Amino acid sequence: MREIKLMIFGVVILLLAGGGIASLALRGALTTNMGDQPSIKPQEHPFEPPPASVPLGKWEKTLSREEAGKVLRNPVPPTLASLQSGQRLYEVYCALCHGSEGKGGGPVAAKFVPPPDITISFFQQRPDGFLYETIRSGGPLMPGQGESLSPKERWDIVNYVRDLQRK
């Protein structure tokens, strides 16, 4: 009699433990959180080029920011139109972190890494190409904004940041 009781007890314990493990495993599979799904997340690059593929047409070569600072020349003159376009784009893509004046403190800065004041002389001395590549591929922490901006638009932002730095 005692053995049977012990056996039933053992089986119940096993079932409970098994159920617990199974429900833990299923929690991952059957999540109801819509944020947690196999989709492209903000700031994620949707497609990498296939390995060993050769870019045709207007594909840009990937440069480090240092190289870009040396070899890229700003082809867009800082006309009023370019500055206006740069300002509009800066407000959309940069001000959320860097603030409207480039001094930091945008609404996302508090939730992310607080960015530096990009109007100080240290950043003024960075070449245009370095700034362009920062916008395109980001910094050590800053996410690149290249996916959403054309080369012309990135140079417009470069021109506008230079304008902010002069103010």
Q: Please give the Cα distance from 64 to 134 (Å, whole number).
A: 9
Which structure tokens are listed for 23?
Answer: 């429900």
* Count of C-beta atoms within a 10 Å radius of residue 35: 7
Q: How far is CA 88 from CA 1, 7, 19, 105, in A?
A: 83, 74, 56, 18
Residue 104's contacts (CB-CB under 8 Å, 6 or more residues apart) are 97, 98, 114, 115, 116, 117, 118
50 lies in the site for ligand HEC, by CB under 6 A: no
Pick 72 or 97: Cβ nearer ligand HEC: 97
**Nearest distance, CB of residue 103 and ligand HEC, angstroms:** 12
Span of 45-53, 55-63, 66-74, 93-101 interacting with ligand HEC by CB under 6 A: 93-101
Pick 31 or 148: Cβ nearer ligand HEC: 148
104 lies in the site for ligand HEC, by CB under 6 A: no
Span of 22-30, 45-53, 70-78, 128-136 interacting with ligand HEC by CB under 6 A: 128-136
126 lies in the site for ligand HEC, by CB under 6 A: yes
**Nearest distance, CB of residue 70 and ligand HEC, angstroms:** 14
Pick 82 or 134: Cβ nearer ligand HEC: 134
Which structure tokens are listed for 78?
Answer: 């800082």
Which structure tokens are listed for 159?
Answer: 């021109």
Map tokens 């800082």 to a residue. Answer: 78
**Would you tell me which residues interact with ligand HEC (CB under 6 A)?**
93-94, 96-98, 108, 112-113, 115-116, 118, 123, 126, 131, 134-135, 139-143, 145, 157, 161
